[in-house]
Amino acid sequence: MKVGLLFGTFDPPHKAHIAVAEYMRQEQGFDAVWLVVTPLNPFKQHQSISPDAHRLAMVELATLGHSGLEACDFELALPQPSYTVDALRAMRAHWPGHSFSLIIGSDNLQSFHRWKEPDEILAHHDVLVYPRPGADMHGALSPYASHARVRLISSAPVMDSSSTRLRELVGSGALIGNQVEPAVAAYIREHGLYRN
């Protein structure tokens, strides 16, 4: 099975996440794209995030009705702090028959050299890069931009939404229903998320 992996805290998952995942599934020939709900990013230890159960529930709601998109809680059970390379290693062991590709934004490509064991990731996985506003799509700032296993997918939708911004909007009382799936908006309201 050929699987694309889109890792994220998804706090909350928004329509741009879904648009990128759907595009990659259809255009890159994946059998499925898994939205992998992650623990707190080791680079963002100063931030706080919603409980795992809330974030996983929102991703499950966001992917409903989107064929081939699935919520994945695999990394949440791994020892912390969890790094992408460790999660990928564990996934290869757990699903030896699957072929996994990593889907990241151009902003992440710029910092990819600072990730734990980036060469180990590229030894086993293709990395597909989608555009993010303000981050050079051609990877001029990344020593990995020209790596044989890094593919710049400039035709992918630009992920111009930000979960951070959506949390701020909800906290200020603004409506975000046009930026998240209706079921996700309802879940946020029901559980009083991001209300500080």
Nearest to 36 by CA among 16, 65, 63: 63
The tens digit of pLDDT for each residue in 59-105 reads 999 999 999 999 999 999 999 888 999 999 999 999 999 999 999 99
User: Which pLDDT score, from 0 to 100, does residue 137 have?
Assistant: 65
The tens digit of pLDDT for each residue in 94-153 reads 999 999 999 999 999 989 999 999 999 999 999 999 988 776 666 556 889 899 999 999
Cα distances (Å, whole numbers) of residue 43 to 64, 76, 170, 178: 30, 17, 25, 30
Look at the block and give the residue holding tokens 């506003």.
133
- Rounded mean pLDDT of 186-196? 93
| Coil vs helix vs strand at 47 | coil
Cα distances (Å, whole numbers) of residue 47 to 22, 39, 117: 29, 11, 23
| Coil vs helix vs strand at 61 | helix
Round to whole Å and give the CA distance between 12 and 53: 12
Q: Is the pTM of this model over 0.85?
A: yes
Task: Report all structural domains of the chain as residue ranges with CATH numbers, in order of start.
Answer: 2-159 (3.40.50.620)
The packing angle between helices 52-63 and 15-27, to 10°, is 60
Count helices and strands (H / E) in the chain. 7, 6
pLDDT band at residue 158 using 50, 70 and 90 as cut-offs: confident
